[in-house]
Structure 1
Amino acid sequence: MSIAGLKDEKLLALEVEVADHIATVTLIGPSKGNAMGPDFWRELPIVFRAIDRDDDVRAVILTGSGKHFSYGLDLPAMAPNFAPLLADGALAKARTEFLAHLHGLQDSVNAVAECRKPVIAAVAGWCIGGGIDVIAATDIRLSTVDAKFSVREVKVAIVADLGSLQRLSGIIGEGHLRELALTGKDIDAVRAEKIGLVNDTYEDKDALLAAAHDMAAAIAANPPLVVQGVKDVLDVTRGPQIAAGLRYVGAWNSAFLPSRDLTEAIQAFVERRPPTFTGS
């Protein structure tokens, strides 16, 4: 079975299957490690808003194809969106256009959070940067025992601006969030489960997906309008705070993101070397 609202969509970065009231959304690339390029950001809101409108769907599983959930933002593919902002003397027009682009990316992640159907993230392998933004917008997170997580934006001279800083405090607590966001360190599944980033871990991907389907089936068996009501009530107080935080970080990055450190981070990534930051 397919989602009615997706029949005319040619999806390149996501695959959607529906069975027994459960939609499974799978990241399929095309970039290595399911890195998130323009196709992903365009398709994510289309898919989740179509799922939201489909009365047959009562729960969603979000997972990645292959060994990894996602390497995060596809920097080479998304670099053209940064280029005008990094030009010498970038003024109001370049900054305004960047802010509009950033709001579009935020809107893509928001579509996951705003979906009235509960979303379960099933994470195997790496989940980095933008991957964390996306799973933070889901309702429940599960992983394999070999999964690894990183709020890595600080390592590339960027303030995370797609929701991690706004949503994770309510999931893992302020102290753990500050540690991860300020160090950019990697954590394993043991630590992720300990701090509440994931609810449970599983031996391999097959066991992970089986557990995610069992949980989704348990949700789907409940009265659908009541399930949607639970999500609505849980989000009523934190929703406005998250929205305000996203607006603020968008304005902050539009003003202060252009830097020699960001240029250095991108150049170091391309040249596959450690960056040297100067605070300029």
Structure 2
Amino acid sequence: MSEWKAFTVEIADHVARVTLIGPGKGNAMGPDFWRELPEVFGELDADPQVRAVVLTGSGKHFSFGLDLASMAGTLAPVLADGAKAAPRTEFLKEIRRMQAAVTAVAECTKPVIAAVSGWCVGGGLDLIAAADIRLAAADAKFSLREAKVAIVADIGSLQRLPAIIGEGHLRELAYTAKDIDAARAERIGLVNEVFADQDAVVAAAHAMAGQIAVNPPLVVQGIKDVLEQRTSPAVTEGLRYVSAWNAAFLPSTDLTEAIQAVFEKREPQFKGE
């Protein structure tokens, strides 16, 4: 495997373990993450020795989501007053590049099991929504946080979570941007099972991956391919729609206020402008 800045990858007994390592605090998702994620899963997909993948985070948390500080340059051109077609088009391309990075996880022919402990926020939730199976530690907390920062979530949660948790639960999480704990996540079907702590959830994910890996690999891959046909066309259409929507409507006074409030560590004051 290649060397990575945002991940470590270990392979043993036909199971690959992919660990988010930042470098942002709480494994926040910066430029290295978005560039490397499709490369990592492309290599795993092409490796015949890999039959299942465990995806987890280093340290106490899975991921704090988008690294606003390191990704600010992506937003700046389209947030400029009177942004014209050129910066909006470039922003559209950037959204679709980030969408494609997470979609690489969903399209990996090997089943992916996410093992979550600590915070799983925003982009972290997008990422685990693209996994096949999600397991959690008892301290895990989940949040579809984008509404709090004046953004329509556009990397996959709104498209993939309806099939996982249902419309009602998704709308509640998306509209309120509230946090939920592991117990609530299990009740609504976001995670399959909750374990005592981080070590236990990672061990459980590896045990499940091992159960998958002893089955005929092409049959397992065929099952995943057949299952994906039920949802992937709607996900693809939804991702294209939301990327165009955000390229057109994301710039706002509320978004600028939300970003300033994050850096100033205060509550934002939204005006609907």
Query: Please, what TM-score do these two structures have when normalized by structure 1?
Result: 0.97
**Which moves more between the two structures, 127-136 or 231-240?**
231-240
**Within 2, Cα distance between the matches of 1:229 and 1:58?**
12
User: How much does 1:28 deviate?
Assistant: 0.6
Deviation for aligned residue 1:206 = 1.2
1:15 and 1:266 mapped to 2: Cα distance? 30
1:86-165 alignment runs, 5 A limit = 86-165=79-158
Q: 2:42 aligns with which of 43, 49, 53?
A: 49
Q: CA separation in 2, counterparts of 1:43 and 1:157?
A: 27
3-state DSSP of counterpart to 1:198:
coil
Which residue of the partner structure matches residue 57 of structure 2?
64
- After superposition, the C-alpha distances for 1:108-162 in whole angstroms (9 at most, x for unaligned) are 0000000000000000000000000000000000010110000000000000000
1:68 aligned counterpart, secondary structure: coil
1:12 aligns with 2:42: no
DSSP-derived class of the 2:255 partner: helix
Q: Report SS of the residue matched to 2:271.
A: coil
Which runs of 5 or more structure 1 residues have no equivalent in the other structure? none
> Which residue does the alignment assign to 1:278?
271
1:236-272 CA deviation, whole Å, 9 max, x = no partner?
1210100000000000000000000000000000100
Amino acid paired to 2:135? L
Q: What is the identity, as a one-letter code, of the residue corresponding to 2:73?
A: P
| Rounded Cα–Cα distance in structure 2 between residues aligned with 1:207 and 1:136 | 21
For residues 163 and 138 of structure 2, what CA distance do their matches in structure 1 show? Answer: 23
State the aligned residue count.
273
Which residue matches 1:198? 191
CA-based RMSD of the aligned residues comes to 0.5
Q: Provide the residue aligned with 1:30 in structure 2.
A: 23
Matches within 5 A, 1:127-276: 127-276=120-269
Q: Which runs of 5+ in 2 are unaligned?
A: none
Shift of 1:205: 1.1
Question: How far apart, CA to CA, are the structure 1 residues paired with 2:178 and 2:170?
Answer: 11
**Quick one: which amino acid aligns to residue 115 of structure 2?**
A
Aligned-pair identity in percent equals 68
- Distance apart, 1:209 and its partner CA: 1.1
